[in-house]
């Protein structure tokens, strides 16, 4: 039986324009060729519109910040497409609920300002938006860590997954 792997990716959002562009893809307000429009009603969002997420995002930003600060982090959480085959929506929702709980614990519930679950593509996935607050400042470096941090984060998330929501952690490179 082939291995089924957990997928966790992050992207730094350095401007409100980056946030808006990401939200337009997430909320399907722009053409998304890899999404099936007939399944768009299966998607779930934390807010009714991308404008509401953008507003929540702005409200979490400190008044004073460096002009080169990373304003947000976009998380993408999924698993190998084969892992989802034959799973019902309750299972998929459970996997993503666990992932959201992990993000809220890691970053603080108030800093996870929006999320979407997409079921209109080949693999269901969660997209979550986090403001990297460290007290009164933005600090994406501390939030994400150094160069090896993405691997440690991925390993930590995989280790914390509870049965039956535990796809394998990919083999780490050395």
pLDDT tens-place string over residues 17-43: 999 999 999 999 999 999 999 999 999
Detail the DSSP E strand segments found in the chain.
6-13, 44-45, 72-79, 112-118, 125-130, 133-134, 137-138
| Predicted local distance difference test score (pLDDT) of residue 139 | 92
| Predicted local distance difference test score (pLDDT) of residue 157 | 47
How far is Cα 75 from Cα 126, in angstroms, rounded to an integer? 8
Compute the average pLDDT of residues 62-78.
94
- Concatenate the DSSP letters of all residues of 26-54 into one string: HTT-S--TTS-GGGGGG-EESSSSHHHHH
Q: For residue 174, give the 3-state DSSP assignment.
A: coil
């Amino acid at each position: 039986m082939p291995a089924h792997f957990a997928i966790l990716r992050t992207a730094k959002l350095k401007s409100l324009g980056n946030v808006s562009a990401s939200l337009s893809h997430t909320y399907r307000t722009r053409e998304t060729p890899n999404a099936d429009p007939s399944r768009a009603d299966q998607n779930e969002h934390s807010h009714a519109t991308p404008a509401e997420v953008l507003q929540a995002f702005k409200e979490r930003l400190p008044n004073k910040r460096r002009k080169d600060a990373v304003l947000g982090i976009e998380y993408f959480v999924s698993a190998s497409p084969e892992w989802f085959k034959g799973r019902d929506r309750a299972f998929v929702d459970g996997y993503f609920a666990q992932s959201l709980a992990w993000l809220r614990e890691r970053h603080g519930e108030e800093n996870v300002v929006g999320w979407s679950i997409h079921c209109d593509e080949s693999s269901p996935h969660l997209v979550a938006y986090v403001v990297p607050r460290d007290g009164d400042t933005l600090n994406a470096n501390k939030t994400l860590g150094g160069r090896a941090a993405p691997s440690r984060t991925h390993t930590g998330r995989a280790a914390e997954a509870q049965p039956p929501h535990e796809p394998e952690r990919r083999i780490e490179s050395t």
